Chains A and B, each alone.
Chain A
Amino acid sequence: MIAFLLAQTIAITGGTVYPVSGPKIDNATVVIQGGRITAVGTNVAIPAGATRIDATGKWVTPGLIDGAGNMGLREISAVQNTNEGTLRGNEVAAAFNVAEGINPASTLIPVTRIEGVTSTLSVPGGDLIWGQAVLIDLDGATIEAMVAKSPVAMVADLSEGSKGAGGSSRAGAAQRLRRVFSDALEYSRRGATYQRAQNEQLAAGAADLEALLPVLRGQLPLMVVANRRSDIETALRIAREYKLRLILVGAAEGWEIADKIAAAGVPVLVQPMDNIPGYDALGIRYENAGLLAKAGVKVSLMETQTENSRNLRQQAGNAVAYGMTWEQALRAVTLAPAEAFGVATQYGSLEPGKVANVVVWTGDPFEFSTGVEHVFIRGKEIVLRSRQTELMERYKTLPPKY
């Protein structure tokens, strides 16, 4: 249930509107009422009493969605006490939902939203199964007021990072994941009478097995971190075996098997500016996002460093420089993640009925020369202020006034 605090009526007029769900519309109006978009187009009646935003010469897009990071869960990565996203001591943390760890007062939230990112996935960290990711809007005084969907997906790891949970072996990690899934199904079939534990330890605690059932019933997507081509293929294989709704994360060598990923219909989250080779993915390259998109893969882009979530648009610009079309890249930071996360009826495009997360830019959102003019989250105009803008104001003339 998405909460709306304000029932303000706003008309953004005269801008070039990129609805994403359809072609751009010149000199169009976007009307927001009660937190939702009510009209988009050139022949739109502006409701009486609407606050008018003149967007002449500006570009209007949906708010950007970053499908990665730990927004609200991580204030300062190097300060352990300010990190909430990892459940230590449980390598199969399926029941771990991060929502109650989110700090609505995090300084990262204003820093990020004033750059046009209006929603982020808050993703747990961990070992084999990390837990449940939630989608949040970057405004709200309470967790309830921020959460757009919880859970969005179960998150698991089949990359180099999961080897510890697999006895130092990729094969071990994959086999352990299968055993957890099989035990969860068995647990589900036998319920409270399940006695297998008398002979053999269950692969995970009851709560974690229980939490996996929506995944195994195809109701909740499984996000799998995999970068090496063979790890991506393992993820696809396991998804086939258990009939899972898979989302690939990272997929650095995905370009090598782009057709296979496209044929499986699996959405992929990619960080386009990654190209440093490691043994997890020696084939990593800038062109990955473009090659995947060209093959027909449903590509979303991400910025995984929480404090740099605002650089999602730079990721998108670079994806374009290295092969995505501009339209594909815009979709990859708006509607594509909304579709992957199962919220496309509410998010990701400028269409009547959708949540009014809207950004007015001075130009192409991916260009450095472009600034943010207005940000609306759930129909509320965000003041373009953060701790950083206040530091700038304090020190722009020296000595500062304390």
Chain B
Amino acid sequence: MMKKRRSRSNGGGQWMLAAFSAAVFAVGCASARAAQAPTASPAPTQATSPARGQDTATSVDRPQYPSTYQRHPNPPVVIKNATIMTATGQEIQGGSILFAGGRIVSVGATVNAPADAVVVDGTGKWVTPGVIDTHSHLGVYAAPSTQAESDGNEATNPVTAEVWAEHSVWPQDPQIPLAIAGGVTTIEVLPGSANLIGGRSAILKLVPARSVQEMKFPGAHYGLKMACGENPKRVYQSRGPSTRMGNMAGYRGAFIQAEQYRRRWDKWNKDHSGDAPQRDLKLESLAEVLRGNIFVQNHCYRADEMVQMLDLAHEFGFKIRSFHHAVEAYKIADILAREGTAVSVWADWWGFKEEAMDGIHENAALVQQAGGRPVIHSDDASGIQRLNQEAAKAMYYGRRSGIQVTRDQALRWFTANPAWVLGLDSIVGTLEPGKMADVVVWSADPLSVYARAMQVYNDGWLVYDRNDPAHQPKTDFSIGRQP
């Protein structure tokens, strides 16, 4: 199996790179209009409409906070003689990986590196795809954790689908470099879980930047944060919802409004008859969920509530891309697999609140066993630095309980599977020719507690090198403060 993969990557690498780069470039190119604006706007095709000139154009036709992300120029890099875990089923001993122009060129026993490639000795090291976290609050709950920087929950209304997490993200959050040093290359920043519907997520490349726009993953689908259970009913106890049934009524009421909004805009986009409907940012986000352009990311702990939310999704005809936290996912692993809904879980968080009491170590492993798609997520500025450790924990506990989990599957829990949850699995999450060069070099087996990320490449850019202070970026917050 390993041989077959090697020959493919050697033989077909260049072609695949070219083909894939073109695809990615098209997405990147179009990001300001086609990718970013449509996901934000209720009318994906209106930009080409001849019926509307400058004077009639409305805000919805213009770019909606587009990504200004640009790949950092960097030389080709070849990492030689490392153990390469590709997240595609192979673990290549003494292997090499070449990346150039921000793309992986080839992976295998040997690679043909150009003369100008930077050569990294990978002897005794492990190489994996960049770590991806589906659930982060970096930038919106920034360190040093003062009220002044608490920007994650717009806890003023149970439904705030109109807020966008990116408008809270502070790129100088000193927690960002810590996460980078843990091998993290892509994150989904979510609004908090105070609200039934908390707002849009931001999908970010984890790179030093002056603005969040410079971090926004080109072409990524927005997520919509929804939350079940204890948090919304606690936060809105006095005004409602104050019960789980109140929570359900709240989601349903919001999507009923969104259905009508979507119909109005779809009709107007078709016939342009009369004045355009008034924009409503809340309903715009929800309508995009109904159109399938925004992915629902649903904080939900209990099994019975997840089943309720699946019924809600059926009622309104959308998909829940991933449940988050989902400490009881193992109780309904068969249902989740059938629905095609991923679960973003911790390895072992439990017991800190009533709805988390039934969390067990084998959660991810049991979901895997049932044919589902587990993701190890962090929801935590500390945990995001050790997602490899958390996945290792979940894998080994599963194995000790007799559940078969492979090392590749455990690796996919923090690489390929989160990439799928964000809709980016054709671009990141594995080490394959043509994929974005998000690559981590580890000091040891990444499923060992002793492993540390030694080098982190994001889109080919060396954003972290443990042995080189020149590649240990600090945020503005951190400079000039400490010895």
Inter-chain CA distance A275–B403, complex, in Å, is 34
Inter-chain CA distance A307–B334, complex, in Å, is 28
Inter-chain CA distance A311–B361, complex, in Å, is 12
B contact residues around A367 at 8 Å (CB): 448-450
* A78-B352 contact in complex given A276-B178, A317-B450, A321-B452, C-beta closer than 8 Å: yes
Inter-chain CA distance A399–B333, complex, in Å, is 10
Indicate whether A218 reaches chain B with its CB closer than 8 angstroms.
Answer: no
Complex contact B145–A79 (CB within 8 A): no
Complex contact A321–B450 (CB within 8 A): yes
B contact residues around A322 at 8 Å (CB): 452
A contact residues around B123 at 8 Å (CB): none
* A368-B366 contact in complex given A76-B352, A77-B352, A275-B178, C-beta closer than 8 Å: no
Inter-chain CA distance A224–B351, complex, in Å, is 27
Q: Shortest Cβ distance from A308 into chain B, in angstroms?
A: 7
Complex contact B331–A277 (CB within 8 A): no
Inter-chain CA distance A371–B362, complex, in Å, is 14
Indicate whether B386 reaches chain A with its CB closer than 8 angstroms.
Answer: yes
Complex contact B360–A388 (CB within 8 A): yes
Q: Shortest Cβ distance from B469 into chain A, in angstroms?
A: 14
Inter-chain CA distance A384–B245, complex, in Å, is 39
Complex contact B361–A388 (CB within 8 A): yes
Complex contact B381–A276 (CB within 8 A): yes
Inter-chain CA distance A278–B385, complex, in Å, is 17
Inter-chain CA distance A294–B469, complex, in Å, is 23
Complex contact A371–B366 (CB within 8 A): no
Complex contact A320–B382 (CB within 8 A): no
Complex contact B381–A321 (CB within 8 A): no
* A276-B352 contact in complex given A76-B357, A282-B481, A282-B482, C-beta closer than 8 Å: no
Interface residues on A, range: 35 or more
Inter-chain CA distance A396–B369, complex, in Å, is 9
A contact residues around B358 at 8 Å (CB): 388, 391
Identify whether the interface residues of B are mostly helix, strand, loop, or mixed: loop
Indicate whether B340 reaches chain A with its CB closer than 8 angstroms.
Answer: no
* A307-B351 contact in complex given A277-B174, A388-B361, C-beta closer than 8 Å: yes
* A273-B386 contact in complex given A77-B352, A77-B353, A282-B481, C-beta closer than 8 Å: yes
Residue in A320, A371, A398 whose CB lies within 8 Å of B450 = A320
B contact residues around A278 at 8 Å (CB): 143-145
Inter-chain CA distance A368–B450, complex, in Å, is 10
The stretch of B76-84, B112-120, B277-285, B392-400 in contact with A is B392-400
B contact residues around A283 at 8 Å (CB): 482-483
Per-position binary interface string of chain A over residues 301-324, scored 1 when its CB falls under 8 Å from any chain B CB and 0 otherwise:
000010110110010011011100
Complex contact B450–A308 (CB within 8 A): no
Pairs of residues from A and B, 10 with the lowest C-beta to C-beta distance, nearest first: A317-B449, A307-B351, A78-B353, A368-B392, A278-B144, A283-B482, A388-B360, A368-B396, A398-B334, A321-B450
Known: A276-B145, A318-B386, A395-B331. 6 other contacts (CB 8 A): A76-B352, A78-B352, A282-B478, A282-B481, A320-B449, A322-B452
